[in-house]
């Protein structure tokens, strides 16, 4: 018996069958599993514009495997387009909408299994949250990274050659004509942005969790092998349905620890902490910041993709992809089932590593620890996160004076006008999940700092978050956030702040008596948004230290 029999079998379901027949469904489909193919196709996002083609290949795979496919859609936001203005407030909250929408459609129509076609920053985690929540047979297809842009023999990528180029233009290093050329050539076609930014990091995490087929995360969007992976994903889903293998059977504690280990080896986006904790929450796996930091200390950083290095996702794909990374980590990963029908260790053992610099041996790692580090201290009692693989050696320990801003816009204006200089610690607060609301990414100010040549002399801390494209000593997710009265709300201009990444410390060098006086005098500001979805989100969302999930969810 299938779940979908509740809507299609029995005399009393004649009206339901009549409506299904109205869609064009053939009578033979009544005996097939009903499979939902949820797609985030949109013309607004380059990572998603090629999905119409992949949808057809997934459908072919589902039908080949003996299922009947029904398509439905969820929205997608392009973080790059939403960046640097009020639109970014909606990006993280859209993750919860996506999960809720999938839950509503699947439960209302009693579907038997799911193929999820996704690609970008919040869409992939939103879909995986729904997979954990619904606990049905599920396969995820990430639509693939974009190829690098080119000017002659020079390869281009979005962050380095547009966002950081803005800072270089402001500093007088490049002309308007050069900037215009970069923006035209940096993104040559469909796919998620070329480096190990959040979209591609989450695609890698999906494969490492065992929720997508081997090779899916890194296969470029425009390649024929992406079509084959899409077809095979439909076939694989039907095997899961027949064998009763559900999402939580794959997304267990071992799967999350494997994914974190791959993340640390790659040096992925800081956003993975938020998203993996949120996915684990829906999959009923207890996952905290301490696990991330423990695994980071145990796992060498063996890859340097942009923004930390010069390689791109297409290079990782050619070098061996996520199976190659798993092969390097074979002794430390835990065997676990995958949607491919084989264990994760079998996938790792069968991998080939083609380029030993893109995926380095453990004994020749770029860094002895993983790409991310979790910091604690009197400035972040609930923790904070930094992409240590993208921080220069000279900035791993830093002490400077605070420059405080209560919004991203105020900080950006100061940075681009020359109001921030060497020795400063830029503090951007009231941009957390509640205070933003929506916990905006800070790619514009961090890229401006890099482009203006300040990344080795200026640090930035925030209760907001960073794009996976961020590099330099940029510390996000500071918890508790300012809107909750966290210590970040008590900082004043000129206070000394100490960052010690190897020691995992983030300290405000102000004595406790003075902080107590400031705390007693602190009054929360008026909310920045008082109506609509964001106001409701601010009332429901929890701290970044717990994945910014909904209370009671």
Q: pLDDT of 275-284, one tens digit each?
A: 999 999 999 9
| Kind and range of the H or E run holding 71 | strand 68-73
Residue 468 has pLDDT above 80, yes or no: no
pLDDT at 380 over 90: yes
pLDDT band at 114 (very low <50, low <70, confident <90, very high): very high
CATH code of residue 204: 3.40.50.2300
Dist. CA 468–CA 301, nearest whole Å: 16
Is residue 138 located within the same domain as residue 98? yes
Q: State how far the Cα of 311 lies from the Cα of 378, in Å rounded to an integer.
A: 37
Do 42 and 4 lie in a common domain? no
Confidence grade of residue 442 (pLDDT, cut at 50, 70, 90): confident
- Clarify whether residues 2 and 139 are in a common domain: no
User: Greatest CA span in the chain, whole angstroms?
Assistant: 76
Task: Tell me: pLDDT of 119 over 90.
Answer: yes
State percent of the chain over pLDDT 70.
Answer: 100
The pair of structure tokens assigned to 125 is 């985690």
Mean pLDDT of 429-448: 92
Q: Which residue range is the domain that position 24 belongs to?
A: 1-31
Q: Tokens 């340097």 appear where?
A: 304
In a domain, 182, yes or no: no
0.85 exceeded by the pTM?
Answer: yes
- In the chain, % helix, strand, coil (3-state, to 5) comes to 45, 15, 40
pLDDT value of position 194? 96
Out of 63-72, 73-82, 449-458, least confident range: 449-458
Q: Kindly state whether residue 480 falls inside one of the protein's structural domains.
A: yes
Instruction: Using the predicted structure, report yes or no on whether residue 95 has a pLDDT greater than 90.
Output: yes
Q: pLDDT band for position 30 (50/70/90)?
A: very high
Q: How far is CA 383 from the centre of its chain?
A: 19
Query: pLDDT tens across 521-540, in order?
Result: 999 999 999 999 999 999 99
Query: Residue 149 pLDDT > 90, yes or no?
Result: yes
- Residue 463 scores a pLDDT above 80: yes
Asked if 328 and 387 sit in the same domain, the reply is no
Residues with catalytic annotation? 467
Q: How many domains does the chain contain in total?
A: 3
Is the pLDDT at 84 greater than 90? The verdict is: no
Q: Are residues 314 and 253 in the same domain?
A: yes
Of 452, 411, 455, nearest in space to 172 by CA: 452
The sheet with strand 34-39 has its strands ordered as: 68-73, 34-39, 113-118, 138-142
Same domain assignment for residues 18 and 43: no
Q: Is the pLDDT of residue 553 over 80?
A: no
> Same domain, yes or no, for 341 and 240?
yes
């Amino acid at each position: 018996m299938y779940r979908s029999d509740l809507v299609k079998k029995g005399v009393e379901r004649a009206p339901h069958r009549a409506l299904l027949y109205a869609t064009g469904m053939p009578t033979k489909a009544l005996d097939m599993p009903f499979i939902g193919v949820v797609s985030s196709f949109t013309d607004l996002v380059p990572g998603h514009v090629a999905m119409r083609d992949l949808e057809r290949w997934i459908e072919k795979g589902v039908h080949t495997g003996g299922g009947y496919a029904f398509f439905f859609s969820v929205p997608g936001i392009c973080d790059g387009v939403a960046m640097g203005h009020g639109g970014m407030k909606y990006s993280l909250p859209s993750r919860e909408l996506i999960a809720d929408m999938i839950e509503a459609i699947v439960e209302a129509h009693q579907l038997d299994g799911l193929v999820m076609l996704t690609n970008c920053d919040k869409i992939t985690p939103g879909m995986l949250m729904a997979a954990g929540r619904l606990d049905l047979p599920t396969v995820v297809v990430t639509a693939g990274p974009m190829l690098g842009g080119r000017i002659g023999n020079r390869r281009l990528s979005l962050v380095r050659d547009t966002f950081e180029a803005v800072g270089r233009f402001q500093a007088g290093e490049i002309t308007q004509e050069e900037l215009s050329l970069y923006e035209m050539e940096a993104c040559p076609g469909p796919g998620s942005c070329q480096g190990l930014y959040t979209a591609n990091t989450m695609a890698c995490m999906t494969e490492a969790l065992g929720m997508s087929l081997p090779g899916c995360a890194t296969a470029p969007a425009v390649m024929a092998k992406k079509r084959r992976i899409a077809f095979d994903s439909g076939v694989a889903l039907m095997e899961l349905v027949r064998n009763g293998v559900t999402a939580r059977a794959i997304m267990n504690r071992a799967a999350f620890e494997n994914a974190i280990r791959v993340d640390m080896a790659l040096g992925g986006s800081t956003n993975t902490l938020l998203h993996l904790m949120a996915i684990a929450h829906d999959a009923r796996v207890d996952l905290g910041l301490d696990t991330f930091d423990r695994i980071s200390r145990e796992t060498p950083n063996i890859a340097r993709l942009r923004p930390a290095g010069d390689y791109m996702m297409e290079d990782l794909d050619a070098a061996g992809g996520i199976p190659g990374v798993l092969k390097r980590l074979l002794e430390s990963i835990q065997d676990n089932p995958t949607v491919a029908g084989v264990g994760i260790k079998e996938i790792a053992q069968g991998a080939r590593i083609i380029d030993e610099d893109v995926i380095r041996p453990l004994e020749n790692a770029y860094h002895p620890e993983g790409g991310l580090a979790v910091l604690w201290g009197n400035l972040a009692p609930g923790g904070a996160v930094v992409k240590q693989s993208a921080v220069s050696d000279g900035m791993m320990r830093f002490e400077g004076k605070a420059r405080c801003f209560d919004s991203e816009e105020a900080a950006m204006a100061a940075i681009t006008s020359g109001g921030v200089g060497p020795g400063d610690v830029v503090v951007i607060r009231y941009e957390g999940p509640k205070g933003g609301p929506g916990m905006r990414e800070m790619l514009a100010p961090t890229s401006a700092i890099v482009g203006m040549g300040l990344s080795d002399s200026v640090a930035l801390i925030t209760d907001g978050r960073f794009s996976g494209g961020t590099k330099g000593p940029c510390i996000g997710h500071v918890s508790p956030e300012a809107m909750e009265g966290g210590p970040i709300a008590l900082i004043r201009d000129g206070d000394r702040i100490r960052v010690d990444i190897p020691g995992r410390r983030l300290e405000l060098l102000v004595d406790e008596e003075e902080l107590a006086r400031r705390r007693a005098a602190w009054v929360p500001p008026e909310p920045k948004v008082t109506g609509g979805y964001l106001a409701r989100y601010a009332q429901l969302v929890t701290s970044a230290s717990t994945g910014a999930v909904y209370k009671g969810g």
